[in-house]
Amino acid sequence: MDDVEDNQDDVLGLSEDENIMKPMNKIGGETLTGDGIIIPEVGMLFKNEQDMYDFYKKYAYTVGFPVKKRNSKKGEDGVLRYLTLTCSREGGSVGNSSGSLKPYPIVKLGCKARISPSCDVIGNWRINAVNLEHNHDTSPSKSRLYRCNRQLSAAMKRKLQVNDLAGIAVHKSYNSAVVEAGGYENMSCIEKDCQNCIECVRRLKLGEGDATAIQSYFSKMQAQCSGFYFDIDWDEESRLKNVFWADNRCVNHHGQSTLLGCDLVSNEDTNTFVWLFKTWLQCMHGQAPHGIITDQDKAMQNAIEIVFPNTKRRWCLWHILKKLPEKFGYHVDKHSIFGALHRLVYDSQSSDEFENGWGMMIDMYELHENDWLSGLYENRGRWVPCFLKTTF
């Protein structure tokens, strides 16, 4: 799963007469929208995953809804075989708040619009199931503003950086770009994207001599102790981007926590974690860990699958349980739900006992439509203690 949408990015105003599908017709056995875009149908074939994703994304752009990859599953050979692409309104909620100065409109939950393709042994992808119905309005005119469709051109990035160095505020740079483009409707990004770009550049910016000082210090440490290891990642403009170091003096055999490495990273995306894990693996002479405990960060999970394909990954139970107040603070039975979940997690002695208790809890508190719980249940083998006895 990736490209998970920020719900607030998808909440856009709709006019009352602006809603969904264009007229359709049949050409050559394929159903087309009024704009000539092919509509997804069961049995459609694609030569690879990217072609299939691009097809659905193009269709979604025409209809007017954002897309995300919801579920994925690998085969026994470690190759991705199953995938679900959904409308980004499939899960999550954004509601009005009387105490908010900028309340967001309520978004209907549980949109079922999706396609479910699978991959055969030679790499072709086939659509196996299709649902085109949305339980919310769609807006073709807003498609360019959905997160999955927004992008900053290289020229725009350069302009933002130059203006930032000159002390020109981001909103002024963005407004200038809007004028040059002939209006907001011709922009492929929003002001927030520009702000994020500049913030990223600023994080990479060090004072004069700082990067050299870091490298010099680490080289000195390595000269003093052959077990000291470090690596520095530079961006395309030779700016310090990420740093990793490990000191063998952190290792001990006294039952204490062992610090296997430290890092400073400029981002928390998949590419950054891939660099970090590959660097750590090199430091450990190619010896991958048998297991890793992390939070539910998707970018980190993607990187682990790339760098440590045979390593078992477990979700940190503490990180999951600490989210309960956030996820159920609104619920009238929140304290009972907290208690039920804790008992299931800590008292279940077998997988059958956990699953029976889980079903009873879902029925008792009518939590069938809770996407967060559904996701946890699908991945119960990663975090529930009674499952980890044999899987971790």
Which region among 146-150, 357-361, 374-378 has the lowest average model confidence (pLDDT)?
A: 146-150
Residue 85's φ and ψ, nearest 5 degrees, are -110, 125
- pLDDT class of 207 with cuts at 50, 70, 90: low
Find all residues with CB under 8 Å of 122, minimum gap 6, and list them. none
Q: What is the pLDDT of residue 56?
A: 93
Question: pTM score, two decimals?
Answer: 0.52
Residue 354 has pLDDT above 70, yes or no: yes
Tens digit of each residue's pLDDT (9 = 90 or more) over 121-155? 888 999 999 999 998 888 888 888 888 888 888 88
Residue 21's φ and ψ, nearest 5 degrees, are -75, 140
Q: What is the pLDDT of residue 114?
A: 92
Choice between 126 and 12, residue whose per-residue pLDDT is larger: 126
Give the DSSP letter string of 235-263. -TTS-EEEEEEE-GGG--SSSS-----EE
For residue 69, the cross-strand partners are: 85
Residue 392 has pLDDT above 60, yes or no: no
Q: What is the pLDDT of residue 34?
A: 53
Round the average pLDDT of the chain to a whole number and report it.
80
Q: What is the pLDDT of residue 224?
A: 87
Q: Which residue in 149, 236, 232, 225 sits closest to 201, CA to CA?
A: 236
- The enclosing H or E element of 45 equals strand 45-46
Within the chain, where are the H helices?
7-10, 49-63, 154-165, 170-181, 191-204, 210-224, 270-283, 298-307, 317-321, 324-328, 334-347, 351-364, 371-378, 385-391
Residue 107's φ and ψ, nearest 5 degrees, are -105, 130
Residue 364's φ and ψ, nearest 5 degrees, are -65, -40
Q: Write the single-letter amino acid at 174.
A: Y
**Contact call for residues 147 and 6 (beta carbons, < 8 A):** yes
Residue 43 has pLDDT above 50, yes or no: yes
* SS3 label, residue 314: strand
Nearest-5° angle of CA 64, CA 66, CA 70? 140
Tens digit of each residue's pLDDT (9 = 90 or more) over 273-292? 999 999 999 998 899 998 89
Distances (CA, A) of 305 to 160, 227, 299, 378: 35, 28, 10, 18
- pLDDT class of 341 with cuts at 50, 70, 90: very high
Residue 11 has pLDDT above 50, yes or no: no
Q: How far apart are CA 349 and CA 358, in angstroms?
A: 13
Q: How far apart are CA 369 and CA 110, in angstroms?
A: 7
Q: What is the pLDDT of residue 18?
A: 39
Distances (CA, A) of 301 to 1, 16, 185, 264, 392: 9, 41, 36, 19, 16
Q: How far apart are CA 294 and CA 301, in angstroms?
A: 8
Q: What is the pLDDT of residue 98?
A: 38
Which region among 65-69, 155-159, 209-213, 386-390 has the lowest average model confidence (pLDDT)?
A: 209-213
Q: What is the pLDDT of residue 350?
A: 92
Hey, what are 290's tokens?
């048998």
- pLDDT class of 215 with cuts at 50, 70, 90: confident
